[in-house]
Amino acid sequence: MKCPYCGYEESKVIDSRPTDEGERIRRRRECLHCSKRFTTYEVIETVPIIVIKKDKSREVFDRNKLTNGLLRACANRPISVGTLERIVDEIEARLQNSLDREVTSTQIGEYAMELLKGVDEVAYVRFASVYRQFKDINTFLEELNKLLQDK
């Protein structure tokens, strides 16, 4: 770390402690050349996830859009907001842990359906009906039959 006083590139860490609920680390350093002390902050670098939509356009992943879609599917269902937040957190963690920086909206929808299926089957079918764009009652029945077979 370059000293802000003399420009020397070697320093030693005197003290480290987490700040901002563990999101950053504050480090007190001492320059090995001029012995002056200074503070640095270490932050995790996040790379934005790009979502490739069905029309092939691209946009940055927006967890609020996912949350709103899940809220609509879960309207009037006994599902807490905390449960929905955990689902969105799980999906976002999967995306961040993936080596791919671009993901299709299809993959995000599949993750959401997978997690919703374990929470509430009605919300799952609602989400699937919009996400998979059910064309008619037969498509809807096919999805319900798959759900029944999985039980």
How long a stretch of residues is the chain? Answer: 151
DSSP string, 41-52: EEE---PPPEEE
Average pLDDT over residues 12-23: 85
Model pTM? Answer: 0.65
pLDDT digits (tens, 9 = 90+) for 67-113: 999 999 999 999 999 999 999 999 998 998 888 889 999 999 999 99
State how far the Cα of 109 lies from the Cα of 144, in Å rounded to an integer.
17
Exposed, middle or buried, 66 (CB in 10 Å: 0-12/13-18/19+)? Answer: buried
101 forms beta bridges with none
Give residue limits of the domains in the chain.
11-43, 50-150
